[in-house]
């Protein structure tokens, strides 16, 4: 049964907790990964998966929004169509047909500068690229391929063994 797209961060938080993961205090990256995989298999109402409306990406590195800490971010992106409200004067111009909003549910885990993670922020790639495979075997395979891509780098292999020093689950409109 599909969940409403606006409920997606709450559903991810519930799945994380079922896996023994507190979204605000992740201590087990592998358990968070398993929860993310389960979350990616939840059908979301209000998105068009045939038009790349439901996808995921994994990102890593050092960013200003993580206070310069090394991080690993598990992201599910949902694209929803926002129809113009006929009662809203701002939208009442000819030709307006609404627009697509990009929302991201992200679990960001931050790490201390441990020896095994040196160079994580300098890898030639900083993400797995977006995957928009349909829910089911194709998405499961895409997630496995993303993990395999990450496993090619010693620093990313080490992320699974290191305890994060902070984490946060967010839900943002990114454009």
Q: Is the pLDDT of residue 92 over 50?
A: no
Comparing 18-22, 95-99, 111-115, the range with the smallest average pLDDT is: 95-99
pTM: 0.89
Asked if 159 and 117 count as a contact pair (C-beta separation under 8 A), the reply is: yes
What would the two tokens of residue 32 be? 């968070």
* DSSP conformation letters of 91-118: G-STT---EEEEEEEEEEEEE---GGGT
Specify whether the backbone of 95 is left (phi greater than 0), alpha (psi in -120 to 50) or beta. Answer: left
pLDDT tens readout for residues 19-70: 999 999 999 999 999 999 999 999 999 998 778 899 999 999 998 888 889 9
d(CA 90, CA 68): 39
Burial bucket for residue 175 (CB in 10 Å: 0-12, 13-18, 19+): exposed
d(CA 137, CA 46): 22
d(CA 120, CA 84): 43
Give the mean model confidence (pLDDT) for residues 128-153.
96
Asked if 117 and 60 count as a contact pair (C-beta separation under 8 A), the reply is: no
Residue 10: alpha-carbon gap to chain centroid: 14
pLDDT band at residue 73 using 50, 70 and 90 as cut-offs: very high
Q: What is the DSSP letter of 87?
A: T
Q: What is the reported pLDDT for 4?
A: 95
Asked if 130 and 57 count as a contact pair (C-beta separation under 8 A), the reply is: yes
The separation between the first and the last C-alpha atoms of the chain, rounded to the nearest angstrom, is 27
Q: What is the reported pLDDT for 123?
A: 94
Nearest 5°: phi and psi at 49? -65, -25
């Amino acid at each position: 049964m599909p969940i409403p797209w606006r409920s997606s961060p709450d559903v991810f938080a519930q799945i994380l907790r079922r896996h023994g993961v507190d979204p605000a205090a992740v201590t087990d990256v592998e358990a968070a990964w398993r929860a993310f995989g389960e979350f990616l298999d939840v059908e979301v109402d209000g998105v068009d998966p045939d038009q790349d409306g439901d996808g995921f990406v994994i990102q890593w590195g050092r960013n200003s929004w993580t206070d310069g800490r090394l991080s690993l971010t598990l992201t599910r992106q949902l694209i929803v169509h926002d129809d113009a409200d006929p009662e809203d004067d701002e939208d009442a111009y000819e030709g307006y047909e609404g627009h697509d909003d990009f929302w991201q549910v992200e679990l960001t885990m931050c790490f201390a500068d441990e020896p095994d993670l040196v160079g994580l922020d300098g890898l030639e790639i900083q993400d797995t690229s977006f995957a928009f495979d349909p829910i089911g075997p194709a998405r499961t395979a895409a997630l496995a391929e993303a993990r395999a891509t990450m496993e090619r780098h010693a620093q990313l292999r080490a992320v699974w063994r290191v305890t994060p020093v902070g984490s946060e689950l967010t839900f943002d409109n990114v454009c």
